[in-house]
Amino acid sequence: MGEIDPAFIQSIEHRPKLDFLAGGGIPLIDLSALINSSDGLSNSKAIAGLVEQVGDACEKWGFFQIINHGVPFESRKKIEEAQREFFSLPLQEKLKVRRDMVNPLGYYDTELTKNVRDWKEVFDFMTQDPTVAPASHEPDNNEVKLMINQWPDYPSNLREVCLEYAVEMERLAFKLLGLISLSLGLPVDRFNDFFKDQITRIRLNHYPPCPSPDLALGVGRHKDGGALTILAQDDVGGLEVKRKSDGEWIRVKPTPDAYIINVGDIVQVWSNGKYVSVEHRVAVNSERERFSIPCFFNPGHYVDVKPMEELITEQDTPKYKEYNWGKFFTHRRLSNFMKLDVENTQISDFRISE
């Protein structure tokens, strides 16, 4: 990636000074009580404190880091090595698996697309192959399409290590989902059926050194539209979170072997607004490249998202209208490729006015 285009610079948001870079940041939660428990989440005594920590982090921050999470070190190491090998390939080799309107999975470089302001290149794949998703965002169009992974010839083990890692991410995601469910006073498996035909995506991110890091972003400010995001990042860092308490931006200090978790719009709606999906962004570095691997854990395309009935009372009425996750997902996906007649769907569009 070369110099920043002037039009790109003009499109970048003004970024206020960070409140602080390290220390006192998002909560750090040790999952060893869960991992070491013989009967897992069914042992309420062993994990009561853990459930309270997760609930508190979801409510006050929408973000937290986890350690002693049970994901094998080798699984993460292998995908990180394959990730670096893939992005080091010549561009013409990576373009052999470039995504397009027909297949939104595979490689793309934001410098090539010219329609986004993010300073990065990525490789996307789905954990279920193929994945069923709506073909259109239009309410009356019930056609579906298959999203099929495409894999490069090099590195030759990329498919194997990615799918192995996907299994570990799914295991971890269900554990976290159980903790969140318990923290809301719901059964541990209350959300599980929503993910039988999940639209879960994993992305390999590469942020090259940027010549003008004060004028660019790796990823612009946004909220995640799905259920949970599980992020692995290297030691370079760059993730910035908008603190709920005062709206200040803070940078998340990398913790070795940790994962960063944030709740998305779906959990916000399921909890009827008790838990929050907060804005975040990624800063770039002028000297060092950065790698990260987010897993976007999402339900099946046919799932209609609405506040959990068990959480609705006369005093706490529904704060969100019901919407279809698949249509929401497809609207976001199509907006990456073309200008739609309507603005990109936001969770605020479903907020019920009080």
Bridge partners, 95 (sequence order): none
Mean pLDDT score across all residues of the chain = 86
Full-model pTM = 0.89
* Digit-coded pLDDT (tens) for 132-161: 998 888 878 889 899 999 999 999 999 999
Q: What residue ranges do the domains of the chain occupy?
A: 6-345
Residues 213 and 288: their CA atoms lie apart, in Å, by 11
202-233 b/e (C-beta count within 10 Å ≥ 16 → b): bbbbbbbebeebeebbbbbeebbbbbbbbbbb
pLDDT digits (tens, 9 = 90+) for 148-194: 999 999 999 999 999 999 999 999 999 999 999 999 999 999 999 99
21/281 Cα distance (integer angstroms): 14
Question: Which of the following CATH numbers is that of domain 6-345: 2.102.10.10, 3.20.20.60, 2.60.120.330, 3.40.50.720?
Answer: 2.60.120.330
Backbone conformation region of residue 28, classed left if phi is above 0, alpha if psi is from -120 to 50, else beta: beta
Grade residue 112 by pLDDT with cuts at 50, 70 and 90. low
Query: Packing angle between helix 158-183 and helix 73-87, nearest 10 degrees?
Result: 130
Bridge partners of 310, per DSSP, are none
Of the candidates 240, 238, 234, 236, which has an alpha carbon nearest to the alpha carbon of residue 292?
234
Give the separation between CA 349 and CA 343, rounded to whole angstroms: 11
What pLDDT, in 10s, does the model give residues 13-72? 444 444 433 334 899 999 998 887 766 665 567 688 999 999 999 999 999 999 999 999
Judged against a pLDDT cut of 50, whether residue 7 lies above it is answered with no
The predicted-structure confidence for 218-276, as pLDDT tens digits, reads as follows: 788 889 999 999 999 999 989 999 998 899 999 999 999 999 999 999 999 999 999 99
Q: Which residues of 97-120 are buried (b: 16+ CB within 10 A; e: fewer)?
A: bebeeeebbbbbbbbeeeeebbbb
